[in-house]
A and B are shown apart, each in its own frame.
Chain A
Amino acid sequence: MKSDERPADRRHSTMRVSRRELLRLAALAGAGVGLAGAFDPFPAHAAGTRGGVWRMAIPGNPTAYPITIPGKLVDILVDKTLFSTLVKYELRGGAILVVPDLAESWTANASLTEYTFKLRRGARWHDGQPVTADDVKFTIDAQLNPKVNAGMAGVVSAISQVTVVDAATVRMTLKAPYASLPVMLGYNIAIVPKHLLDGQDLNQPVAFIQHPIGSGPFKFKAFAQDSHLEVEANKKYYGGAPLLDGIVFKVIPDGNARLAQLKSGDIDFTVIDPPQLAAVQGVPNLEVRRAPQVNYYFFAINHERPKFADARVRQALSYAIDKQAIVKNILKGDGRVATGPINPLLGPYYNAKVEVYPYSLEKAQSLLAEAGWRKGPDGVLANAKGEKFTLLFNGPKGYPVMEQVITYAQQQYQKLGAAVTLDIIDWPVHLKKYHDREYDLLMEWWITPPNADLYDHYYSESSNNWWSYKNAALDRMLIAARTEPDEKKRIAMYHDIQTVIAKDVPVIYLYYPPELQAMNTRTQGLPLIGYRDALTWMTKVWVRS
Chain B
Amino acid sequence: MAGYVLRRLAQAIVLLWIVSVITFVLIHTAPGGPAMLQNPDLGREQIARFRANLGLDDPLPVQYVRWLRAAVRGDFGRSYNTVEPVLRLVGTRLPNTLLLTGAALGLAIVFAIPLGVLSATYRNTAVDRAIAGVSFMGISTPVFWLGIVLIVVFSVQLKALPAGGMYQIGAPFSVADRLRHLLMPVFVLTIANLAEVTRYTRSAMIGALGEDYVRTAHAKGLPAATVLFRHALRNALIPVITIVGVYLPRAVSATAITETVFSWPGMGQLAVQSAATRDYPVVLGATLAVAVFAVGSSLLTDLAYGYVDPRIRLG
Contact = CB atoms under 8 A, between A and B. Distances in A.
B261 A41 contact: no
A65 B83 contact: yes
Contacts of A41: 169-170
A535 B211 CA distance: 71
Q: How large is the interface on A (under 10, 10 to 19, 20 to 34, 35 or more residues)?
A: 35 or more
Interface in A174-224: 203-204, 206, 209, 224
Interface of A is mostly: loop
Contacts of A152: 41
Taking each of A39, A63, A206, which has the highest tally of chain B beta carbons within 10 Å of its own beta carbon? A39
Given A257-B151, A257-B263, A432-B32, A39 B43 contact: no
A508 B164 CA distance: 42
Interface of B is mostly: loop
Contacts of B152: 260
Contact of B83 (A39, A146, A209, A257): A209
A431 B83 contact: no
B63 interface: no
Given A254-B263, A432-B33, 19 more contacts: A40-B170, A61-B82, A62-B82, A63-B83, A72-B81, A153-B46, A154-B43, A206-B83, A224-B169, A225-B84, A228-B169, A230-B170, A260-B151, A260-B152, A260-B156, A266-B163, A266-B164, A427-B32, A427-B35
Contact of B162 (A154, A266, A426): A266
A426 B38 CA distance: 12
B89 A253 contact: no
Task: Enumerate the 10 nearest inter-chain pairs by beta-carbon distance, A residue then B residue, closest first.
Answer: A428-B32, A226-B265, A463-B43, A39-B171, A41-B170, A70-B36, A463-B44, A69-B36, A431-B38, A264-B155
8 contacts: A69-B50, A70-B35, A230-B169, A248-B170, A253-B260, A428-B277, A464-B40, A464-B43
Contacts of B170: 39-42, 230, 248
Contacts of B78: 204
A429 B53 contact: no
Contacts, number: 157
Interface string A404-417: 00000000000000
A251 interface: yes
Contacts of B278: 428
A462 interface: yes
Contacts of A265: 159
A227 B83 contact: no
Nearest to A464: B43
Contacts of B42: 69, 151, 154
A227 B165 contact: yes
A435 interface: yes
Contact of A432 (B31, B43, B93, B172): B31
Contacts of A257: 148, 151, 163-164, 260-263
Given A70-B36, A70-B80, A70-B82, A227 B155 contact: no
Interface of B: 31-33, 35-47, 49-50, 53-54, 78, 80-84, 89, 92-93, 148, 151-152, 155-156, 159, 162-172, 260-263, 265, 269, 273, 276-278
A249 B296 CA distance: 38
Contacts of A256: 148, 261
Interface of A: 39-42, 60-63, 65, 69-72, 146-147, 149, 151-155, 203-204, 206, 209, 224-228, 230, 248, 250-254, 256-257, 260-261, 263-266, 426-429, 431-432, 434-435, 444, 446, 456, 462-464, 466
B42 to A, nearest CB: 7
A149 B54 contact: yes
A435 B33 CA distance: 12
B175 to A, nearest CB: 15
A253 B171 contact: no
Contacts of A462: 43
A60 B273 contact: yes
Contacts of A70: 35-36, 80-83
A265 B158 CA distance: 12
A248 B89 CA distance: 21
Given A260-B151, A260-B155, A464-B43, A225 B38 contact: no
Nearest to A448: B41
A257 B264 CA distance: 11
A177 to B, nearest CB: 20
Given A69-B36, A253-B260, A256-B261, A146 B49 contact: yes
A225 B165 contact: no
Contacts of A204: 78, 83
A71 B269 CA distance: 21
Contacts of B83: 63, 65, 70, 204, 206, 209
Nearest to B272: A253
A265 B92 CA distance: 28
Nearest to B93: A226
Nearest to B257: A254
Given A154-B46, A253-B273, A427 B38 contact: yes
A267 B95 CA distance: 26
A72 B40 CA distance: 11
Nearest to A62: B82
